[in-house]
């Protein structure tokens, strides 16, 4: 056993350095996301979701770095990656809407064009045709990884995909702060 450790001292050293760097990268990423969430007054659940994405990314980077540290044969690695990417490509093509909704959720987190509690109007012909009484105005109840929960004036909740929140024109009528200020005066 001692011979194994002596023979692979360099690999163990670089493994430790890689793990330390990934932990630091994850820590800095999580702190940055939490700071952006606090400054932008974003709900804690959305911040936690983005930190999970950062953890997945750093884990993937760590596995990739450790395969190179331990000297995996590049020809075999190329064959493995091409096979894995072929399967992932087919799976992602079949599930493109899920991936686009998750990506849109991340974009909505960092760009924060609207927040939970904001009153919006979606300029979508299909929605405006179906919703006649309230002229398509909704209050954002929750923003999830894949979709947004919207409540209309009748109290009905509609689930709307994140990618459509970026693709359709949306008018923000009142922010959450404006709505709460109006109710306090009453």
Rounded Cα–Cα distance for residues 83 and 80 (Å)? 5
* Token pair of 130 as six digits: 């179906």
CATH class of 114-185: mainly beta
Taking 90 as the threshold, does the pLDDT of residue 16 lie above it?
A: yes
d(CA 136, CA 54): 35
* 151-162 residue pLDDT tens: 988 888 988 888
The yes-or-no verdict on residue 126 having pLDDT over 80 is no
Identify the band that residue 186 occupies on the pLDDT scale cut at 50, 70 and 90: very low
Reading the block at residue 41, the tokens are 């007054």
Residue 134 above 60 pLDDT? Answer: no
- With cut-offs at 50, 70 and 90, classify the pLDDT of residue 76: confident
Angle at 92 between CA 91 and CA 97, to 5 degrees: 125
List pLDDT tens digits, range 135-185: 678 899 988 888 889 998 888 898 888 888 888 888 888 765 665 555 554
Q: For the whole model, what pTM was predicted? A: 0.54
Domain ranges across the chain = 2-94, 114-185
Q: For residue range 79-119, what is the model confidence (pLDDT) as tens digits?
A: 777 888 777 777 666 667 777 888 888 888 787 788 888 89
How far, in Å, are 69, 87, 130, 142, 154 from residue 135 at the CA level? 60, 45, 9, 21, 11
pLDDT at 46: 82
């Amino acid at each position: 056993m001692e011979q194994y450790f002596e023979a692979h001292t360099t690999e163990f050293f670089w493994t430790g350095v890689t793990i330390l760097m990934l932990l630091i990268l994850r820590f800095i990423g999580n702190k940055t996301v939490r700071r952006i969430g606090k400054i932008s007054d974003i709900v804690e659940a959305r911040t936690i979701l983005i930190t999970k994405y950062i953890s997945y990314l750093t884990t993937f980077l760590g596995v990739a770095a450790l395969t190179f540290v331990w000297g995996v044969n590049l020809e075999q690695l190329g064959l493995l990656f091409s096979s894995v990417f072929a399967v992932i490509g087919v799976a992602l093509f079949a599930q493109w809407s899920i991936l686009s909704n998750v990506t849109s959720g991340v974009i909505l987190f960092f760009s924060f064009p609207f927040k939970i509690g904001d009153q919006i109007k979606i300029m979508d012909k299909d929605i405006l045709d179906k919703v006649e009484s309230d002229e398509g105005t909704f209050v954002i109840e929750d923003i999830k990884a894949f979709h947004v929960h919207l409540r209309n004036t009748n109290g009905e909740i509609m689930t709307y995909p994140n990618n459509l929140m970026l693709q359709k024109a949306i008018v923000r009528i009142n922010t959450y702060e404006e709505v709460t200020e109006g109710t306090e005066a009453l």
